[in-house]
Chain A
Amino acid sequence: MAKSISQEFVKGLWAEVPPFRLVLGLCPVLAVTKTVENGLGMGVATLFVLVCSNLLVSAMRNVIPSKVRIACFIIIIATFVTIVEILMQALYYPLYLALGIFTPLIVVNCIILGRAEAFAAKNGLIASFADGLGMGIGFTLSLGVLGAVREVLGSGTFWGTSIFGPSFQPFTFMIEAPGAFVALGLMLCVMNLVGQK
């Protein structure tokens, strides 16, 4: 039993890491990864919602009638997103401003609904927790890596501190919309290359 739970956890980190392997939930991935800080902040917010909604959906899986399950899942997710929104507004206001409309948009992140439907609705509490945690951490790390690539190339900084010195001419393309698409596409390509071996 213990082994299978650790497997549920680990699969989210590489084998099924959400934005790359499943190509789901792309909007926040593209939009908030201008800097590492924003990327990680978004990742942690999603992680929180994912773990909580997985736990609640799993706990209520025998109560929710299957015909209205999607609506119930969405309400559960929307509730946790509202909690995150209010918490973030109170505690991390600059991050709340930086993420903008993408905080309420966690509701429609396909990963969360996807995990609720595909996993939490069929599995026990502990397994769902492990699944949510693994997927959430995988998602956070992916956002962090993409954010790091874009911030280093696009503004020549990492976590706000300059790393190339003043003579560096930033590659501004990377922090604009086109750069987001190209960077994610190329990262997907690198993941495929590594995965092939």
Chain B
Amino acid sequence: MGDLILLVISCILVNNIILAQYLGNCPFLGTSKKMETAIGMAMAVVFVLALAGVITWVTETLVLKRFGLEYLRTVSFILVIASLVQFVEMFLKKVVPALYVGLGIFLPLITTNCAVFGVAIIISNNEYTFLQALVSSTAYAVGFGLALILFAGVRERIDLGRVPKPLQDASIGLVTAGVLSLAFFAFKGMV
């Protein structure tokens, strides 16, 4: 149990998926200009990432390892994630239409979110057990949401200030992300 709690802390704060592992930067910069879109993206990612971590684990353990097909990992993971996103989209549309409308465009975009694929690969490289895979993928997803929403809050403030022209948009966004990353860097000593 203690191990799992440590894993949660390490995945959310110490090894934050965006700010310490450099994954999922495109949606991080792309959807953080407004708080609303940031919350939408964060929710969609939490949902899909937690599922994807478990399903790719199952795929690897039950299919790839049993038949000695480990070299097909990249191809099979990306296919599993793409079809998972498609399936989640159809499922939500039928069962929870309100959530489907709320997530909107962000759901299909997740297929190319490298955070999802990256977590699948991290879990596979570390040879986690099922429980560890479940806990870590959920925790990574929460970390993603946390970083994205914090960053969107900071960026909304920056929009009010006067930024020199060459620094505008993505440039000041990256520098801000650097400062935020520095804040998360302080957690390094915790675990």
Contact = CB atoms under 8 A, between A and B. Distances in A.
B165 to A, nearest CB: 8
B86 to A, nearest CB: 9
B22 A177 contact: yes
Contacts of A189: 166-167, 171
Secondary structure at the B interface, as helix, strand, loop or mixed, is helix
Given A182-B175, A185-B171, A185-B173, A177 B74 contact: no
B22 A27 contact: yes
A71 B19 CA distance: 30
Interface in B24-52: 24-26, 29
A181 B118 contact: no
A186 B178 CA distance: 11
A101 B118 contact: yes
Contact of B82 (A71, A79, A86, A186): A71
B25 A178 contact: no
Interface stretch (B4-12, B99-107, B127-135, B179-187): B179-187
Interface string A77-118: 011011001100000000000000100110111100100000
B23 interface: yes
A78 B182 CA distance: 34
Contacts of A186: 171, 175
B111 to A, nearest CB: 8
A107 B116 CA distance: 12
B74 A30 contact: no
Secondary structure at the A interface, as helix, strand, loop or mixed, is helix
A182 B121 contact: no
Given A105-B117, A108-B112, A178 B179 contact: yes
A75 interface: yes
A145 interface: no
A185 B71 contact: no
A180 interface: yes
Interface of B: 19-26, 29, 71-75, 77-79, 82, 112-114, 117-118, 121-122, 125, 165-168, 170-179, 181-182, 185
Interface of A: 23-27, 30-31, 71, 74-75, 78-79, 81-82, 85-86, 101, 104-105, 107-110, 113, 176-182, 184-186, 188-190, 192-193, 196
